[in-house]
Structure 1
Amino acid sequence: MLGFQFQGKDETTRAVELKQRLKKEMILIILDDIWKEVDLEKVGIPSKDDQKKCKIVLASRNEAVLRKDMGAQECFPIQHLSQEEAWHLFKKTAGDSVENNLELQPTAREVVKECEGLLPVAIVTIAKALKDESLAVWKNALEELRSSAPTNIREVEEKVYC
């Protein structure tokens, strides 16, 4: 979106290039679903001292990562979606494959129940992966979710766990 092309071949050179470019821009950087400390300088995001126009929003399930590891100035807790909100989001994303298929609905509701506590991006990703699939695929996905290993659901590992 910045219309920026890296010239350097290695990560360190690219980080320097990115940092120089970001210092010139008024930009909001959002790092979502942080699980451990991210060295912002190492990836080329300007430090607190260099942030004149650059603002950073960090999102994590672990407040300690934000406060202690990342030195966040303010934290705003966000609640998980309620079961009904998760079902509505899932149904809206999966569309007619859930809405109009009475045979599929009980399995779909169980899939959503297993998504409890997942981020909305995970719920949307799972719904998109299952949209227009057969009941057998849905049941397989449900078993994958129950075993806490949803890596065999198309696109879930790539978009949610990476």
Structure 2
Amino acid sequence: GGVGKTTLLGTINNKFKDEFDVVIWVVVSKDLQYKSIQDQILRRLRVDKEWANQTEEEKASSIDEILGQKKFVVLLDDLWSDVDLDKIGVPRPTQENKGSKIVFTTRSKEVCRYMSADDELKMDCLSTNEAWELFQNVVGEAPFKKDSEILTLAKKICEKCYGLPLAL
């Protein structure tokens, strides 16, 4: 983790708000809970609270019915295993739902395969030079001008972060 998958998803979330009827961001994480995913989606859809007492199947039907009428983007962040979209109620993008999209982040190529991803974008760590540039941009030059030992120590810290932007 830490290469910027969630940050990229945030950019997608902000950039496409105006191009879709609804953009739904759901954090899934390691402990996959369909009820939690459904509840996050229904809250975002601003459905009245009647759904709170519905079964998972009823929630799935409600989600499918609402999203089936909209141009939507569902952003599923941090998948550790495949997610059954039918069980959640998220319809697959079709001509009927006007170019809707489902985007997810994962560390696993298997999850991409199980989820039948149309496109994959692999995010790699930064090179040593890119990592150092990022570090300098965040910290600024002032600390390095005060003491040459700080510069040496900062470069060692960058190396220990192995090009992971989040660690930097």
Q: State the TM-score, normalizing by the size of structure 2.
A: 0.50
Structure 1 segment 125-144 matched on structure 2, within 5 A: 126=167
CA distance in 2, matches of 1:86, 1:66: 28
- Structure 1 residue 115 corresponds to structure 2 residue 156: no
CA distance in 1, matches of 2:62, 2:80: 26
Q: 1:63 aligns with which of 85, 109, 113?
A: 109
CA deviation digits over 1:12-61, x for unaligned, max 9?
25544433332222223333443221222333422367973321223333
Q: 2:86 aligns with which of 18, 36, 41?
A: 41
Give ranges in structure 1 of 5+ residues lacking alignment: 128-162
Give ranges in structure 2 of 5+ residues lacking alignment: 1-16, 23-43
Residue aligning to 1:86 = 131
RMSD: 3.4
CA distance in 1, matches of 2:79, 2:135: 23
Secondary structure of 1:24's aligned partner:
coil
**Residues 23 and 50 of structure 1 are in contact (CA less than 8 Å); yes or no, is this contact kept in structure 2?**
no
Which has the larger helix fraction?
1
Give, in angstroms, the shift of residue 9 of structure 1.
1.5
Give, in angstroms, the shift of residue 76 of structure 1.
3.8
CA deviation digits over 1:58-111, x for unaligned, max 9?
3333212201x212233343433222223333433x344xx3212544444344
CA distance in 1, matches of 2:163, 2:82: 22
CA distance in 1, matches of 2:135, 2:161: 10
User: Does 1 or 2 have the higher relative contact order (CA < 8 Å, sep 6+)?
Assistant: 2
Q: State the TM-score, normalizing by the size of structure 1.
A: 0.52
How much identity, in percent, do the aligned residues show? 29
